[in-house]
Amino acid sequence: MRKRPLGRTGLHVSRICLGTMTFGEQNSETEAHAQLDHAIERGVDFLDTAELYPIPPKAETQGGTERFIGSWLKASGHRNRVTIATKVIGRSDSRWFRDDGGTPRLDLPNITEAVEKSLRRLGTDRIDLYQIHWPDRPTAGFGSVPTRWKTPQADPDEVPIAETLAALATLVDSGKVRAIGLSNESAWGTMRFLAESDRGTGPRVQSIQNAYNLLNRTFEPALAEVALREDVGLLAYSPLAQGYLTGKYAGGARPEGSRKALFDRLQRYEKRGTAEAVDEYVALARRFDLAPATFANAFVLAQPFVTATIIGATTLAQLDACLAAEDVIWTDEMQAAVDEVHQRRGNPAP
Protein backbone atom coordinates (compact mmCIF):
# COMPACT_ATOMS: atom_id res chain seq x y z
CA MET A 1 0.00 0.00 0.00
CA ARG A 2 1.22 3.47 -0.85
CA LYS A 3 2.27 5.77 1.97
CA ARG A 4 2.14 9.48 2.56
CA PRO A 5 4.11 11.78 4.89
CA LEU A 6 2.52 12.59 8.24
CA GLY A 7 3.01 16.34 8.34
CA ARG A 8 6.64 17.24 8.92
CA THR A 9 7.32 14.39 11.36
CA GLY A 10 9.43 12.36 8.97
CA LEU A 11 6.98 9.49 9.48
CA HIS A 12 5.17 7.95 6.53
CA VAL A 13 1.84 6.22 7.01
CA SER A 14 -0.42 4.10 4.82
CA ARG A 15 -2.89 6.30 2.99
CA ILE A 16 -5.68 4.11 4.33
CA CYS A 17 -6.01 4.27 8.10
CA LEU A 18 -8.05 1.73 10.05
CA GLY A 19 -10.67 3.41 12.20
CA THR A 20 -11.66 1.40 15.25
CA MET A 21 -14.62 3.05 16.96
CA THR A 22 -16.81 -0.06 16.56
CA PHE A 23 -14.40 -2.19 18.64
CA GLY A 24 -16.08 -2.90 21.96
CA GLU A 25 -19.64 -2.17 20.84
CA GLN A 26 -20.49 -3.56 17.40
CA ASN A 27 -17.34 -5.69 17.25
CA SER A 28 -16.12 -8.18 19.84
CA GLU A 29 -12.47 -8.47 20.81
CA THR A 30 -12.07 -11.48 18.52
CA GLU A 31 -13.65 -9.61 15.60
CA ALA A 32 -11.50 -6.57 16.31
CA HIS A 33 -8.34 -8.66 16.23
CA ALA A 34 -9.45 -10.26 12.95
CA GLN A 35 -9.94 -6.81 11.38
CA LEU A 36 -6.54 -5.65 12.59
CA ASP A 37 -4.83 -8.79 11.26
CA HIS A 38 -6.57 -8.43 7.89
CA ALA A 39 -5.74 -4.75 7.55
CA ILE A 40 -2.07 -5.35 8.38
CA GLU A 41 -1.91 -8.14 5.80
CA ARG A 42 -3.22 -5.66 3.19
CA GLY A 43 -0.54 -3.10 4.02
CA VAL A 44 -2.32 -0.81 6.49
CA ASP A 45 0.08 0.44 9.15
CA PHE A 46 -1.93 3.35 10.57
CA LEU A 47 -4.56 2.90 13.32
CA ASP A 48 -6.89 5.56 14.71
CA THR A 49 -8.68 5.36 18.04
CA ALA A 50 -9.70 7.63 20.95
CA GLU A 51 -10.27 7.63 24.69
CA LEU A 52 -13.94 8.27 23.80
CA TYR A 53 -14.42 5.00 21.92
CA PRO A 54 -16.36 2.82 21.31
CA ILE A 55 -19.28 4.70 19.82
CA PRO A 56 -21.85 5.46 21.09
CA PRO A 57 -19.95 6.78 24.12
CA LYS A 58 -21.01 5.27 27.45
CA ALA A 59 -19.36 5.17 30.87
CA GLU A 60 -19.49 1.37 30.99
CA THR A 61 -17.72 0.86 27.64
CA GLN A 62 -15.41 3.90 27.50
CA GLY A 63 -11.83 2.95 26.71
CA GLY A 64 -12.81 -0.48 25.42
CA THR A 65 -11.51 0.20 21.93
CA GLU A 66 -8.03 1.08 23.16
CA ARG A 67 -8.02 -2.05 25.34
CA PHE A 68 -8.84 -4.26 22.34
CA ILE A 69 -6.01 -2.68 20.35
CA GLY A 70 -3.72 -3.17 23.33
CA SER A 71 -4.52 -6.86 23.62
CA TRP A 72 -3.92 -7.26 19.88
CA LEU A 73 -0.56 -5.48 20.10
CA LYS A 74 0.48 -7.77 22.93
CA ALA A 75 -0.64 -10.94 21.12
CA SER A 76 0.70 -9.99 17.69
CA GLY A 77 3.93 -8.24 18.61
CA HIS A 78 3.19 -5.65 15.91
CA ARG A 79 3.73 -2.48 17.96
CA ASN A 80 6.68 -1.34 15.86
CA ARG A 81 4.85 -2.07 12.60
CA VAL A 82 2.04 0.40 13.21
CA THR A 83 1.56 4.11 13.77
CA ILE A 84 -1.01 4.58 16.53
CA ALA A 85 -3.16 7.69 16.70
CA THR A 86 -5.51 8.35 19.59
CA LYS A 87 -7.36 11.37 20.97
CA VAL A 88 -8.15 13.31 24.13
CA ILE A 89 -11.68 14.68 24.38
CA GLY A 90 -12.34 18.40 24.45
CA ARG A 91 -14.60 20.09 26.96
CA SER A 92 -17.49 17.80 27.82
CA ASP A 93 -20.40 17.32 30.20
CA SER A 94 -19.50 13.62 30.46
CA ARG A 95 -17.74 13.76 33.82
CA TRP A 96 -17.11 10.02 33.99
CA PHE A 97 -13.99 10.43 31.85
CA ARG A 98 -12.00 11.86 34.75
CA ASP A 99 -11.26 10.26 38.12
CA ASP A 100 -12.34 13.30 40.13
CA GLY A 101 -15.66 13.61 38.30
CA GLY A 102 -14.73 17.04 37.04
CA THR A 103 -15.49 18.59 33.69
CA PRO A 104 -12.99 17.39 31.06
CA ARG A 105 -11.04 20.33 29.68
CA LEU A 106 -7.94 20.77 27.57
CA ASP A 107 -5.59 21.78 30.36
CA LEU A 108 -2.50 20.05 31.74
CA PRO A 109 -4.17 17.93 34.48
CA ASN A 110 -6.88 16.63 32.15
CA ILE A 111 -4.57 15.94 29.23
CA THR A 112 -2.02 14.23 31.47
CA GLU A 113 -4.65 11.94 33.01
CA ALA A 114 -6.07 11.12 29.59
CA VAL A 115 -2.73 10.21 28.02
CA GLU A 116 -1.64 8.06 30.96
CA LYS A 117 -4.87 6.07 30.75
CA SER A 118 -4.57 5.66 26.99
CA LEU A 119 -1.00 4.41 27.34
CA ARG A 120 -2.09 1.81 29.91
CA ARG A 121 -5.02 0.61 27.83
CA LEU A 122 -2.91 0.38 24.68
CA GLY A 123 -0.09 -1.32 26.55
CA THR A 124 2.56 0.92 25.02
CA ASP A 125 5.07 3.51 26.20
CA ARG A 126 4.34 6.02 23.45
CA ILE A 127 1.54 7.38 21.30
CA ASP A 128 2.66 8.25 17.79
CA LEU A 129 -0.02 10.87 17.07
CA TYR A 130 -2.01 12.43 19.91
CA GLN A 131 -5.01 14.42 18.70
CA ILE A 132 -7.41 16.86 20.30
CA HIS A 133 -10.78 15.26 19.56
CA TRP A 134 -12.61 18.59 19.52
CA PRO A 135 -11.79 22.12 20.73
CA ASP A 136 -12.16 23.36 24.29
CA ARG A 137 -13.93 26.45 23.00
CA PRO A 138 -17.52 26.35 21.73
CA THR A 139 -17.68 26.27 17.94
CA ALA A 140 -20.29 27.05 15.33
CA GLY A 141 -21.03 23.35 14.91
CA PHE A 142 -19.38 20.01 15.56
CA GLY A 143 -16.69 19.72 12.95
CA SER A 144 -16.19 23.48 12.95
CA VAL A 145 -16.82 23.92 9.23
CA PRO A 146 -20.53 24.70 8.87
CA THR A 147 -22.03 25.98 5.65
CA ARG A 148 -23.81 28.72 7.59
CA TRP A 149 -22.26 30.60 10.50
CA LYS A 150 -23.87 30.53 13.93
CA THR A 151 -22.07 32.52 16.60
CA PRO A 152 -21.46 30.29 19.64
CA GLN A 153 -21.69 31.56 23.21
CA ALA A 154 -18.19 31.73 24.67
CA ASP A 155 -17.29 29.97 27.92
CA PRO A 156 -15.86 32.35 30.53
CA ASP A 157 -13.21 29.80 31.56
CA GLU A 158 -12.22 28.67 28.06
CA VAL A 159 -8.77 27.09 28.04
CA PRO A 160 -6.57 29.19 25.72
CA ILE A 161 -4.96 27.41 22.79
CA ALA A 162 -1.53 28.45 24.08
CA GLU A 163 -2.19 26.69 27.39
CA THR A 164 -3.35 23.52 25.65
CA LEU A 165 -0.32 23.50 23.37
CA ALA A 166 2.03 24.01 26.31
CA ALA A 167 0.41 21.02 28.04
CA LEU A 168 0.92 18.89 24.94
CA ALA A 169 4.56 20.02 24.86
CA THR A 170 5.16 18.33 28.21
CA LEU A 171 3.98 15.00 26.75
CA VAL A 172 6.22 15.34 23.70
CA ASP A 173 9.19 16.36 25.85
CA SER A 174 8.65 13.30 28.08
CA GLY A 175 8.62 10.95 25.08
CA LYS A 176 5.08 9.75 25.76
CA VAL A 177 3.81 11.42 22.56
CA ARG A 178 5.72 11.69 19.27
CA ALA A 179 3.51 14.18 17.42
CA ILE A 180 0.26 16.06 17.89
CA GLY A 181 -2.77 16.68 15.72
CA LEU A 182 -6.19 18.32 15.72
CA SER A 183 -9.69 17.06 15.02
CA ASN A 184 -13.02 18.73 14.32
CA GLU A 185 -11.13 22.00 14.05
CA SER A 186 -11.58 25.14 11.97
CA ALA A 187 -9.13 27.04 9.80
CA TRP A 188 -8.85 29.74 12.47
CA GLY A 189 -8.15 27.21 15.20
CA THR A 190 -5.57 25.38 13.10
CA MET A 191 -3.72 28.59 12.29
CA ARG A 192 -3.78 29.68 15.94
CA PHE A 193 -2.10 26.42 16.94
CA LEU A 194 0.50 26.93 14.23
CA ALA A 195 1.11 30.53 15.30
CA GLU A 196 1.64 29.47 18.91
CA SER A 197 4.06 26.80 17.75
CA ASP A 198 5.99 29.40 15.75
CA ARG A 199 6.27 31.43 18.97
CA GLY A 200 7.86 28.45 20.70
CA THR A 201 4.87 27.58 22.89
CA GLY A 202 4.85 23.92 21.90
CA PRO A 203 5.11 21.38 19.09
CA ARG A 204 3.74 21.87 15.62
CA VAL A 205 0.43 20.22 14.75
CA GLN A 206 0.97 17.64 12.02
CA SER A 207 -2.55 16.66 10.97
CA ILE A 208 -6.21 17.53 11.21
CA GLN A 209 -8.95 14.93 11.41
CA ASN A 210 -12.26 16.28 10.14
CA ALA A 211 -15.29 14.79 8.45
CA TYR A 212 -14.83 14.73 4.69
CA ASN A 213 -16.85 12.88 2.08
CA LEU A 214 -18.96 13.36 -1.02
CA LEU A 215 -21.79 14.84 1.04
CA ASN A 216 -19.53 17.14 3.05
CA ARG A 217 -16.69 18.94 1.26
CA THR A 218 -16.67 21.92 3.62
CA PHE A 219 -13.00 21.22 4.36
CA GLU A 220 -12.10 22.55 0.93
CA PRO A 221 -12.92 26.29 0.99
CA ALA A 222 -10.54 27.29 3.84
CA LEU A 223 -8.80 24.27 5.33
CA ALA A 224 -7.50 22.66 2.13
CA GLU A 225 -5.08 25.54 1.56
CA VAL A 226 -3.94 25.36 5.17
CA ALA A 227 -3.39 21.62 4.82
CA LEU A 228 -1.29 22.00 1.68
CA ARG A 229 0.74 25.09 2.54
CA GLU A 230 1.35 24.18 6.19
CA ASP A 231 1.79 20.41 5.75
CA VAL A 232 -1.11 19.68 8.10
CA GLY A 233 -2.77 16.98 6.03
CA LEU A 234 -6.34 15.83 6.41
CA LEU A 235 -7.12 12.53 8.09
CA ALA A 236 -10.59 12.20 6.62
CA TYR A 237 -13.12 10.58 8.91
CA SER A 238 -16.55 9.35 7.84
CA PRO A 239 -15.60 8.90 4.16
CA LEU A 240 -18.78 6.84 3.77
CA ALA A 241 -20.97 9.37 5.58
CA GLN A 242 -21.65 6.87 8.38
CA GLY A 243 -22.55 4.25 5.81
CA TYR A 244 -25.00 6.28 3.76
CA LEU A 245 -22.70 6.42 0.73
CA THR A 246 -22.77 2.63 0.48
CA GLY A 247 -26.43 2.92 -0.51
CA LYS A 248 -27.50 0.49 2.20
CA TYR A 249 -29.96 2.96 3.73
CA ALA A 250 -31.65 3.82 0.43
CA GLY A 251 -35.41 4.13 0.58
CA GLY A 252 -35.42 4.21 4.37
CA ALA A 253 -33.88 0.73 4.78
CA ARG A 254 -32.53 -0.18 8.23
CA PRO A 255 -30.28 -3.23 7.74
CA GLU A 256 -30.03 -5.52 10.74
CA GLY A 257 -26.91 -4.82 12.79
CA SER A 258 -26.31 -1.41 11.18
CA ARG A 259 -25.63 1.66 13.29
CA LYS A 260 -28.95 3.11 12.16
CA ALA A 261 -30.84 0.07 13.39
CA LEU A 262 -28.85 -0.26 16.62
CA PHE A 263 -28.40 3.33 17.74
CA ASP A 264 -30.32 5.70 15.44
CA ARG A 265 -27.53 8.29 15.75
CA LEU A 266 -26.99 9.18 12.11
CA GLN A 267 -28.89 12.45 11.97
CA ARG A 268 -25.91 14.32 10.50
CA TYR A 269 -26.59 12.46 7.24
CA GLU A 270 -30.36 12.62 7.32
CA LYS A 271 -30.79 16.30 6.55
CA ARG A 272 -32.92 17.60 3.72
CA GLY A 273 -31.30 16.90 0.37
CA THR A 274 -28.94 14.16 1.53
CA ALA A 275 -30.99 11.23 0.23
CA GLU A 276 -31.12 12.63 -3.30
CA ALA A 277 -27.37 13.35 -3.26
CA VAL A 278 -26.61 9.84 -1.98
CA ASP A 279 -28.65 8.31 -4.79
CA GLU A 280 -26.69 10.27 -7.37
CA TYR A 281 -23.29 9.35 -5.96
CA VAL A 282 -24.22 5.67 -5.66
CA ALA A 283 -25.36 5.76 -9.29
CA LEU A 284 -22.03 7.34 -10.26
CA ALA A 285 -20.11 4.56 -8.54
CA ARG A 286 -22.06 1.95 -10.49
CA ARG A 287 -21.55 3.89 -13.71
CA PHE A 288 -17.80 3.51 -13.15
CA ASP A 289 -18.24 -0.16 -12.22
CA LEU A 290 -17.15 0.28 -8.62
CA ALA A 291 -18.76 -0.65 -5.32
CA PRO A 292 -20.15 2.56 -3.78
CA ALA A 293 -17.91 2.18 -0.69
CA THR A 294 -14.85 1.80 -2.89
CA PHE A 295 -15.80 4.79 -5.03
CA ALA A 296 -16.43 7.07 -2.03
CA ASN A 297 -13.06 6.23 -0.47
CA ALA A 298 -11.26 6.57 -3.80
CA PHE A 299 -12.64 10.11 -4.13
CA VAL A 300 -11.19 11.02 -0.74
CA LEU A 301 -7.80 9.47 -1.54
CA ALA A 302 -7.59 11.41 -4.81
CA GLN A 303 -7.65 14.83 -3.14
CA PRO A 304 -4.18 16.40 -2.80
CA PHE A 305 -4.67 17.71 0.75
CA VAL A 306 -5.54 14.27 2.18
CA THR A 307 -2.97 12.28 4.15
CA ALA A 308 -5.26 9.30 4.75
CA THR A 309 -8.84 8.16 4.59
CA ILE A 310 -10.02 6.60 7.86
CA ILE A 311 -12.08 3.54 7.04
CA GLY A 312 -14.36 1.69 9.43
CA ALA A 313 -16.18 -1.59 9.17
CA THR A 314 -17.99 -4.19 11.21
CA THR A 315 -17.32 -7.10 8.84
CA LEU A 316 -14.32 -8.22 6.81
CA ALA A 317 -16.37 -7.90 3.63
CA GLN A 318 -17.05 -4.25 4.40
CA LEU A 319 -13.38 -3.79 5.20
CA ASP A 320 -12.37 -5.23 1.82
CA ALA A 321 -14.71 -2.89 -0.05
CA CYS A 322 -12.97 0.08 1.58
CA LEU A 323 -9.46 -1.31 1.13
CA ALA A 324 -10.17 -1.78 -2.58
CA ALA A 325 -9.95 2.02 -2.98
CA GLU A 326 -6.16 1.65 -2.86
CA ASP A 327 -6.25 0.06 -6.30
CA VAL A 328 -8.56 2.57 -7.99
CA ILE A 329 -7.04 4.89 -10.57
CA TRP A 330 -9.04 8.09 -10.06
CA THR A 331 -9.58 9.77 -13.41
CA ASP A 332 -10.37 13.30 -14.51
CA GLU A 333 -13.70 11.94 -15.74
CA MET A 334 -14.55 10.65 -12.28
CA GLN A 335 -13.61 13.95 -10.66
CA ALA A 336 -15.64 15.93 -13.18
CA ALA A 337 -18.66 13.71 -12.61
CA VAL A 338 -18.41 14.13 -8.84
CA ASP A 339 -17.93 17.88 -9.16
CA GLU A 340 -20.99 18.16 -11.39
CA VAL A 341 -23.17 16.52 -8.75
CA HIS A 342 -21.60 18.67 -6.04
CA GLN A 343 -22.33 21.82 -8.03
CA ARG A 344 -26.03 20.97 -7.91
CA ARG A 345 -26.25 19.30 -4.49
CA GLY A 346 -23.62 21.20 -2.50
CA ASN A 347 -22.82 20.04 1.02
CA PRO A 348 -26.12 18.80 2.42
CA ALA A 349 -24.59 17.11 5.46
CA PRO A 350 -21.83 19.17 7.13
Catalytically annotated residues: 53
Contact predicate 202/276, CB 8 Å? no
Which string of DSSP letters, residue by residue, matches 176-219?
SEEEEEEES--HHHHHHHHHHHHTTSSPPEEEEE-B-BTTB-TH
CA distance 78 to 103: 35
> What are residue 131's DSSP bridge partners?
87, 181
* Among candidate residues 127, 129, 131, 133, the one with its CA nearest the CA of residue 176: 127
Mind spelling out the 3-state secondary structure of 7-24? CCCCCEEECEEEECCCEC
Cα–Cα distance for residue pair 28/65, rounded to 1 Å: 10
How far is the C-alpha of 25 from the C-alpha of 321, rounded, in Å? 21
